[in-house]
Amino acid sequence: MNCTEKIVISASRRTDIPAFYMNWFMERIRLGFFETPNPYNGRIYRIQAAADRVHSIVFWSKNFGPFIRSEAGEKLTRQGYRLYFQFTVNSRAPLLEPGIPSLQQRLEQLEYLCRHFNPATVTWRFDPICFYRNRNNELMDNLHDFTWVARTAARMGIRRCITSFMDHYPKIRQRNRLNSEVQWIGPPLETRVQVLTKLGTILENCGMALEVCCEPQVLAQLGKNANAGPSSCISGPLLAELFGGSPCLKKDAGQRVKAGCRCTRSRDIGSYRHHPCRHGCLYCYASPAKNAGANQKYFQSDETLA
């Protein structure tokens, strides 16, 4: 990293820190560094976290309730940190996402973030798009609340929506064998193109842009007039535009570059093992195969200083 560039902290692709681990996060901020294991070889990396070393912090969550109640955002802002929010708000689907708050609660959280931290710093994620058959063999998807959420987010001032289709990772296939409630369907390319075209039109009517994560084949088939383009979930240029300064603008080689990921470099904190996400979503790539789909007790679990 160039000595003039400051760190972008990603908190986190590996778990839901705002929902479950804000006590741990704020303690590490107090200490001035994070110690983060490489998920492949276990090597521990020290990531500097003092405000003068950090360009911005990107928070990812499906439930910002604990973050909001603890006033963590206000505390971090007073310390000089600049915050960006990736908030996943999908349709109501208790079968797929058993451990998250109601849709109304999540929209109230979204409004809070927009009102207190500027809607330009908030991205709405509708992610992933899921197709499946239920136990009655009915073909289902999770798109039913998309238009309502889009219109609500647009009224709050949000102008960016990121989406992708569910990836059928081995861990998810194993989970599928253990859960007879859901049989995942991988929609054909033609269906994916139709879906993104429709979503792009809905968002265009709301004054929002659709960004698509790691779907190069689908994007290549979309018409030139489609309101959809490739996504950079963490975008150095965007963070520089919002906050000034010099974040790294190089592509993040640790992400799925070959699949079309355009994210710029950041430092992910947290751990799949020590900070398990407890939402229990059936499609989650991060949760252990045997744990996803668990009941509400996971959502109620106390935060831990792991």
pLDDT digits (tens, 9 = 90+) for 184-201: 999 999 999 999 999 999
Residues in Cβ contact with 141 at an 8 Å cutoff, skipping those fewer than 6 apart: 129, 130, 131, 132
Q: Give the pairing type, strands 160-165 and 183-185.
A: unpaired
pLDDT of residue 40: 81
Q: How far is it, in rounded angstroms, from Cα 51 to Cα 85?
A: 18
What pLDDT is attached to residue 269?
A: 96
pLDDT score of 264: 96
Rounded (5°) CA angle 267-62-276? 60
* Separation of alpha carbons 107 and 224, rounded Å: 32
Q: Which parts of the chain sit beneath pLDDT 50?
A: 3, 293-306
Amino acid at 37: P
Q: Phi and psi (nearest 5°) for 11? A: -130, 80
294 CB-near residues (< 8 Å, 6+ apart): 98, 99, 278, 280
Residue 271 CA, distance from chain mean position: 15
- How many CB atoms lie under 10 A from the CB of residue 157? 14
Residue 302's pLDDT is 37
Q: Please state the pTM of the whole predicted model.
A: 0.91
- In this prediction, residue 297 carries a pLDDT of 36
For residues 188, 235, 113, 62, the Cα torsion angle rounded to the nearest 10 degrees is: 40
CA pair distance 296, 158, nearest whole angstrom: 30
Cβ partners under 8 Å of residue 273, min gap 6: 37
Hey, where are the domains in the chain?
A: 7-130+142-168+188-300
66 phi and psi angles, rounded to 5 deg: -60, -40
Residue 231, pLDDT score: 93
d(CA 76, CA 70): 11
